[in-house]
Amino acid sequence: MGLIETQVAAELAEWPGFKSHGLGAEKIRENLVRPPKDDMGDLAFATFKAAKEAGKSPAQLALELVAGRDTARISKRLRKIEDPDDTADEPVAPPRSALVVAVGTAGPYVNIRLNRAAAGALLLTEIEKQGEAYGNSESGKGKTLVIDLSSPNIAKPLAVHHLRSTMIGYSIKKIRESQGWRVVGVNHLGDWGTGFGKLIAGLKRIPSVAALAAKKAKEQLTEGNFEVLPEFTVKELNAEYQKFNEAMKSDPELEASGKREFALLEQAIVAENTKPGSAVGTPGYENFYIYRSAREKSLSEFARVYKDLGISFKPLSIVAAQRSKEEQQLKSGTFPATGVYIGESHWAVVGARCQPIVDTALKTGVAEKSDGAVVIWVNGKKPGKDGKPPPPVILQKDDGASSYHLRDIASATYRHEGLGGTDLAYVVGSEQSLHFQQLFKALEMLGYEWAKNCTHVDFGLMLFKNDKGGWEKTSTRRGTAIMLEDLLDEAIKSVREIMAAKNPELAGTPDGEAVAHAVGVGAVVFNDLKAGRRNNVKFDWDAVLDFEGESGPYMLYQYVRMGSVMQAFSKRYCEQEPGLPDEASAKAGAQATGIALDDVAKAALHGDAALLTLDEEWRILKLLAEFPDAVAKASDEYEPSVVAQHLIKLAGATSTWWVATRDSRIVGDDKALSLARVRLVNAIRTTLGKGLTLLGMSLVDRM
């Protein structure tokens, strides 16, 4: 309630009681709390701290603050303190003021009741002025957050657990942007490592693939001709990889072949990068073809799922000139996608950043050789009780290859220097917390002062019910992993079925399909974001597909209801009343899906907030007022669930109000009252819509 609290504090500071105790507006604001029950008051001043400074009992101070000039009443009340049974505090008449209308004490609290009409008008005007910008702030102005999100591995399908990093990251991006931050999304694709050597070795065991790759490798790779794996889906690529791993167990030679194939791949890429065409015809170039094909295949499958979620990524070019153009787009916010793919391979291949980091670290003594590898002892070398020192960060393996730590360091310096990140965030599962703790420590030891602005935005695991009824991690091998795409499809299908029963006119139409998509995806997304990110997610089909209660569809349902009310208002009043825009009625016909709502919103500006006298309406107004605080908190804590939880309260209060007005209707016979209520409806719709958008959900006008 930022807006209102500030004014209340200013008003209270003028009260004789507060003045004589030297309590200024700022101090008052700091100690304003929200009473646990609505009937206790709207706000309360907690006297504990002030009482300590004044050397008085909190309850006594509370009475003195409230007393005004009525000393006789004070002494009467002080006597009541002596007799705890007598708790009947009567309100004391306050000085006249705009917002504060009634004050009473309850022990150490000065409970404040607000002038609902004045507070309501103040707030509604603010929301109307801000519109979709309601909840925004400028607190991040001039700062840039580079956020690592989604980051799947190529040649593996997107499974449900990828939803977490993707949507938590996307929502944080939107929330931070609303607070004035410039945010660059980076999809740190897992597209490098010996695992891909194994994949290549495995695929080469298939004669047709080997033959096609050999043939292709004789010509220069161009955009159109890299396809050597046309018949493979990503799922099948992954199956080949699994098969190879299985075979490796009984044949150590296979493991060595994987390493060899990876080394060949690396050579070819580096050669190609140095001098295009120089690797053509080499065995490594065959690997490059296979690798490239698998990568493209993966990206196109990812794009399909990302599109369902309403997001997109584009790769960062490996061509320097093109790349710097893209970097400018990223910096200015004109990059034509949610984020940029900068895979790990980028740092192994393009990154001239890696080797200098190692060299400098060795020269300055930050790093040293250990067992042939270059390491940084980020947590010291002293052995613990187990006789082993805490694990160091490995920059370079004993065979000279870069480690993922080194590539992350290179990538981090790029995010700071190349992308202008003042702050870096990594939306990655909590199982990697040691890695990030080490990474940040290493950055600090390497002398990057911005290391303190790096945050691991960790989140809990996705767990699945096993045969014994317990919860365990997903396993692709055991087939317990659920494909993200399947989950979304299943949710959309369920929505379709429900819609056929509840809204048969809409179901099956093209509009209905779009709605089913938005509601189904929204259900999955909201389900993922509503709880604190650190909780493990116990994946349960029944819970995900339950569209009642605290669910995405419920949120959208309340949003849709608000639109329906505005439509109803348009039909009933706009077309008859000369004072209201009558073109609204024409647009608000049966087809309308929000087009006319802007006009209704304009009409609603004339509503009189003083007519919103119901407790249900007041509760909604207070929740609307608190919305910006929730967004700010969510931003500070990298915690979208703070927004989601607030929306749950707002949607619930809205639904309660809807039913409470069942008899008179929100749009009823009383035109002035209807108009006032539609004004509130419009504010709810604005706020709810804004919040859901911040969570990365799409809005619908019917469902």
Partner RNA sequence: GCGCCCGUAGCUCAGUGGAUAGAGCAGCUGCCUUCUAAGCAGCCGGUCGCAGGUUCGAUUCCUGCCGGGCGCGCCA
Rounded to an integer, what distance in angstroms lies between the CA atom of residue 493 and that of residue 516?
Answer: 8
CA-angle at 352, arms to 349 and 354, nearest 5°:
85
Strand blocks (E) in 49-174: 100-106, 109-114, 144-148
**Quick one: CA dihedral 492, 496, 498, 503, positive or negative?**
positive
Nearer to RNA, 217 or 462 (CB): 462
Compute the least distance from the CB of residue 64 to RNA, in Å.
17
Fill in the per-residue mask, 456 to 475: x = in contact with RNA (CB under 7 A), - = not in contact: ----xx----------xx--
Q: Which of 414, 371, 196, 383 is nearest to 293 (CA)?
A: 196
398 near RNA (CB under 7 A): yes
Rounded to an integer, what distance in angstroms lies between the CA atom of residue 574 and that of residue 68?
Answer: 49
Nearer to RNA, 306 or 554 (CB): 554
Interface with RNA in residues 481-500 (CB under 7 A): 495, 498-499
Interface with RNA in residues 310-349 (CB under 7 A): 344
* Given 16, 26, 30, 52, the residue binding RNA (CB under 7 A): 52
435 near RNA (CB under 7 A): yes
CA-angle at 393, arms to 388 and 395, nearest 5°:
135
CA 160 to chain centroid, in Å, comes to 17
564 near RNA (CB under 7 A): yes
Interface with RNA in residues 8-27 (CB under 7 A): none
Compute the least distance from the CB of residue 645 to RNA, in Å.
4
* Given 175, 451, 537, 611, the residue binding RNA (CB under 7 A): 537
C-alpha separations of 529 from 177, 247, 312, 355 in Å: 18, 40, 19, 40
Nearer to RNA, 221 or 601 (CB): 601
Applying CB under 7 A, what is the total number of residues that bind RNA?
A: 101
Q: Which of 520, 535, 601 is nearest to 563 (CA)?
A: 601
Query: Which range touches RNA (CB under 7 A), out of 216-224, 333-341, 540-548, 577-585?
Result: 540-548
Rounded to an integer, what distance in angstroms lies between the CA atom of residue 124 and that of residue 136?
Answer: 16
Interface with RNA in residues 134-153 (CB under 7 A): 153
Compute the least distance from the CB of residue 37 to RNA, in Å.
7
Nearer to RNA, 216 or 677 (CB): 677
* Given 300, 433, 509, 576, the residue binding RNA (CB under 7 A): 433
245 near RNA (CB under 7 A): no
* Given 145, 519, 529, 592, the residue binding RNA (CB under 7 A): 519
* Given 372, 380, 447, 579, the residue binding RNA (CB under 7 A): 372
C-alpha separations of 114 from 43, 88, 95, 465, 623 in Å: 8, 21, 13, 50, 14
* Given 245, 278, 453, 503, the residue binding RNA (CB under 7 A): 503
Question: CB neighbours of 690 closer than 8 A, spacing ≥ 6?
Answer: 132, 134, 135, 627
Compute the least distance from the CB of residue 510 to RNA, in Å.
16
Rounded to an integer, what distance in angstroms lies between the CA atom of residue 699 and that of residue 564?
Answer: 14
Neighbours of 224 (CB within 10 A): 6
* Given 16, 20, 22, 49, the residue binding RNA (CB under 7 A): 49
Compute the least distance from the CB of residue 460 to RNA, in Å.
7
Compute the least distance from the CB of residue 349 to RNA, in Å.
13
Nearer to RNA, 204 or 517 (CB): 517
Beta-strand relationship, 182-187 and 109-114: unpaired
Compute the least distance from the CB of residue 71 to RNA, in Å.
24
554 near RNA (CB under 7 A): yes
* Given 177, 531, 582, 602, the residue binding RNA (CB under 7 A): 531
Query: Which range touches RNA (CB under 7 A), out of 77-85, 100-108, 263-271, 293-301?
Result: 100-108
* Given 137, 370, 422, 455, the residue binding RNA (CB under 7 A): 370
88 near RNA (CB under 7 A): no
Rounded to an integer, what distance in angstroms lies between the CA atom of residue 349 and that of residue 461?
Answer: 32
Fill in the per-residue mask, 628 to 667: x = in contact with RNA (CB under 7 A), - = not in contact: -------------xx--x--x---x--xx-xxxxxx-xxx
C-alpha separations of 215 from 272, 286, 292 in Å: 18, 8, 15
535 near RNA (CB under 7 A): yes
Compute the least distance from the CB of residue 177 to RNA, in Å.
22
DSSP letters for 587-654: HTSTT-SSTTHHHHHHHHTT--GGG--SHHHHHHHHHHHHHHHHHHHHHHTT-HHHHHHHHHHHHHHH
Rounded to an integer, what distance in angstroms lies between the CA atom of residue 335 and that of residue 313?
Answer: 10
Nearer to RNA, 354 or 373 (CB): 373
Q: Would you say 112 and 149 are in contact if contact means Cβ atoms under 8 Å apart? A: no
Residue type at 427 in one-letter notation: V
Strand partners, 190: 153
Burial of 665: CB neighbours in 10 Å, binned 0-12, 13-18, 19+: middle
195 near RNA (CB under 7 A): yes
Nearer to RNA, 13 or 498 (CB): 498
Beta-strand relationship, 109-114 and 100-106: antiparallel
Instruction: Estimate the share of the chain in helix, then strand, then coil, as percent rounded to the nearest 5.
Output: 55, 10, 35
Burial of 620: CB neighbours in 10 Å, binned 0-12, 13-18, 19+: buried
Neighbours of 9 (CB within 10 A): 23
Interface with RNA in residues 149-188 (CB under 7 A): 153
* Given 36, 230, 336, 578, the residue binding RNA (CB under 7 A): 36
Compute the least distance from the CB of residue 33 to RNA, in Å.
6
Q: Would you say 294 and 235 are in contact if contact means Cβ atoms under 8 Å apart? A: no
Compute the least distance from the CB of residue 147 to RNA, in Å.
18
Nearer to RNA, 603 or 648 (CB): 648
* Given 211, 256, 434, 586, the residue binding RNA (CB under 7 A): 434
Query: Which range touches RNA (CB under 7 A), out of 37-45, 116-124, 271-279, 413-421?
Result: 37-45
Compute the least distance from the CB of residue 374 to RNA, in Å.
9
Compute the least distance from the CB of residue 169 to RNA, in Å.
17
Nearer to RNA, 80 or 665 (CB): 665
Nearer to RNA, 278 or 655 (CB): 655
C-alpha separations of 264 from 211, 288, 295, 618, 658 in Å: 17, 9, 17, 69, 67
